[in-house]
């Protein structure tokens, strides 16, 4: 009997894509890819190492130095990117099906990610055509203007949460600006990344511009970071891995953009719209299975409404629908991998010693196998608790009371991270002052995470290095060259004249 959970035509084996061809690893090595619902191997993937990265980088470098892509007019590249977006949109159901199966993400949320991926390509296709560069004039004396030039081979290292969409965040601007790329997707979720090659070929991207090497971070990722012919590394992942990449890239003085971990606060003041705040903070930590860097995983609540908030939040968390990823009714699916499941469950056990468990706390009923965790809520959590300080990256939330604006700000800033913050209040002055004072790269006022693609994306402290998004992506993926022209007489000091 056919299992309705399993997408049709799953590949028996996932290969690399180098210089326009699907290939296995040079040494023939592979690794297993697991279905997160059963933790059974459903396919294998080529395990890339240094030799495979060298082939991919050589192809990308050749395409950059000899191929047409960097020399095409922005409008020509834009047309290719729009075709890519059209193809992604036309295949959104298939992409979502594969993404959901491979990552455990609920199918309805996976569908949204596929559409967002298309929008990322469309956005940068439009941006490069509208792009203007600066000119500075000193009338009658000097004119200065700026050339933007693609840099070369961009190494893109992407995470296992919403992989296809996050790959598009990097691929869109890197390709739009005329660079060539080597993509190293996360080893837990290589399935949807394998679709890029066919999409790019059909859209007319020249051979060698896009290359993909699967493999472990310590093998393929490490070789990509250390390759002397890769001047740019864009990485999304854990802060500890980011530190390692920073050190390994330093001898080459590479351009680095790193979006790292988060432990983002959601601050709820007594004058907030309580129903909207509960809805948004439930969604903010349990959507995408809680496997999101911008999750509002610490909720800080003003004491006068604290007990009511905790009661309503816990009751709603218990009603969140845990289910199989392919079921459209599912709101929280299966975590990506048994290793990650074990990590999240270890934090649940730690939390039982650090806070008051008011919802969840283990496996949901009826799910005896697979990586399922019931939405878990701890109240009365102290700021020195591990579940307050450390990124869990799952459907687990800590709620803490505060008595004053000053205490709320102190609690919000009391972690090593600084990616996002969510503030719920109807006091306009408080909202803006708090937003300015909170240590976060992005702040949402009376809103969950709804991002305009023109805005910078990135964090402070341990949450990242640099920003991408909008023109910041154009800045990262291009060199800016200043050209200076003297219009009048040359104003040269004279040396060496008798």
259 is catalytic: yes
pLDDT tier at 493 (50, 70, 90 boundaries)? Answer: confident
Residues 97, 167, 259, 291: which is the catalytic one? 259
Per CATH, the number for 265-445 is 3.40.309.10
Per the CB < 8 A criterion, the answer to whether 132 and 148 are in contact is: no
pLDDT tier at 386 (50, 70, 90 boundaries)? Answer: very high
Q: Examine the pLDDT at 260 and tell me if it is beyond 50.
A: yes
**183 vs 167: CA distance, rounded Å:** 8
**125 vs 120: CA distance, rounded Å:** 9
- What letter would DSSP give residue 332? B
Q: Examine the pLDDT at 461 and tell me if it is beyond 90.
A: yes
Per DSSP, which regions of 341-453 are E strands?
Answer: 356-359, 376-379, 396-402, 420-424, 442-445
Kind and range of the H or E element at 129? helix 107-130
Residues in the chain: 498
Nearest Cα to Cα of residue 34 among 189, 215, 167:
189
- As a whole number, mean pLDDT of residues 178-190 equals 98
As separate numbers, helices (DSSP H) first and strands (DSSP E) second, the chain gives 15, 21
Residues 108-150 pLDDT 10s: 999 999 899 999 999 999 999 999 999 999 999 999 999 999 9
Neighbours of 116 (CB within 10 A): 18
Q: Examine the pLDDT at 1 and tell me if it is beyond 60.
A: no
**Which two structure tokens, joined as six digits, stand for 89?**
């949109």
Domain 13-260+463-482: which CATH number of 1.10.287.10, 3.40.50.300, 3.40.605.10, 3.10.20.80: 3.40.605.10
What are the sequence ranges of the domains in the chain? 13-260+463-482, 265-445
Q: Report the sign of the C-alpha dihedral through residues 443, 292, 317, 3, in that order.
A: positive
- As a whole number, mean pLDDT of residues 397-410 equals 98
Residues 226-245 pLDDT 10s: 999 999 999 999 999 999 99
Q: Are strands 298-302 and 265-268 parallel, antiparallel or unpaired?
A: parallel
Residues 36-67 pLDDT 10s: 999 999 999 999 999 999 999 999 999 999 99
Q: Examine the pLDDT at 2 and tell me if it is beyond 60.
A: no
Would you state the pLDDT for residue 73? 97
């Amino acid at each position: 009997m056919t299992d309705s959970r399993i997408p049709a035509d799953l590949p028996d084996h996932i290969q690399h894509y180098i210089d326009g061809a699907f290939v296995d690893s040079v040494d023939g090595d592979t690794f297993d890819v697991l279905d997160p619902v059963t933790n059974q191997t459903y396919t294998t993937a080529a395990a890339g190492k240094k030799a495979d990265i060298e082939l991919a980088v050589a192809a990308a470098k050749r395409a950059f130095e000899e191929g047409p892509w960097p020399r095409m007019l922005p409008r020509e590249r834009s047309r290719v990117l729009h075709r890519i977006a059209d193809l992604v949109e036309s295949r959104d159901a298939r992409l979502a099906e594969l993404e959901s199966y491979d990552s455990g993400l609920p199918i309805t949320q996976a569908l949204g990610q596929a559409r967002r991926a298309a929008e990322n390509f469309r956005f940068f296709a439009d941006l490069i055509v509208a792009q203007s560069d600066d000119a500075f004039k000193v009338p009658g004396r000097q004119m200065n203007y700026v050339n933007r030039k693609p840099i070369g081979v961009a190494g893109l290292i992407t995470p296992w949460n919403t992989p296809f969409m996050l790959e598009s965040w990097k691929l869109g601007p890197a390709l739009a600006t005329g660079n060539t790329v080597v993509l190293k997707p996360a080893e837990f979720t290589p399935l949807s990344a394998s679709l890029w090659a066919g999409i790019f070929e059909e859209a007319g991207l020249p051979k060698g511009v896009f290359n993909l090497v699967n493999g472990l971070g310590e093998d393929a990722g490490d070789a990509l970071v250390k390759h002397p012919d890769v001047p740019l590394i864009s990485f999304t992942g854990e802060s500890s891995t980011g530190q390692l990449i920073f050190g390994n890239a330093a001898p080459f003085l590479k351009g680095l953009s790193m979006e790292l971990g988060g432990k983002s606060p959601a601050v709820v003041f007594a004058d907030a719209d309580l129903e909207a705040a509960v809805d948004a903070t439930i969604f903010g930590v349990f959507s995408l299975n809680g496997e999101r860097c911008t999750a509002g995983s610490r909720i800080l609540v003003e004491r006068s409404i604290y007990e009511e908030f905790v009661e309503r939040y816990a009751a709603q968390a218990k009603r969140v629908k845990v289910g199989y990823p392919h079921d459209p009714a599912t709101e929280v699916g299966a975590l990506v991998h048994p290793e990650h499941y074990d990590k999240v469950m270890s934090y649940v056990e730690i939390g039982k010693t650090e806070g008051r468990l008011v919802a969840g706390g283990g496996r949901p009923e009826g799910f005896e196998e697979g990586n399922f965790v019931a939405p878990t809520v701890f109240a009365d959590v102290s700021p020195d608790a591990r579940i307050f300080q450390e990124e869990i990256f799952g459907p687990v939330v800590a709620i803490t009371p505060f008595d004053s604006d000053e205490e709320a700000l102190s609690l919000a800033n009391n972690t090593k991270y600084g990616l996002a913050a969510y503030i719920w209040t109807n006091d306009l002055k408080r909202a803006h002052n708090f937003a300015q004072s909170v240590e976060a790269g992005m702040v949402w006022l009376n809103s969950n995470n709804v991002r305009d693609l023109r805005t910078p994306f990135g964090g402070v402290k341990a949450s990242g290095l640099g920003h991408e998004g909008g023109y910041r992506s154009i800045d990262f993926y291009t060199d800016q060259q200043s050209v200076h022209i003297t219009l009048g007489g040359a104003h040269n000091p004279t040396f060496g004249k008798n």
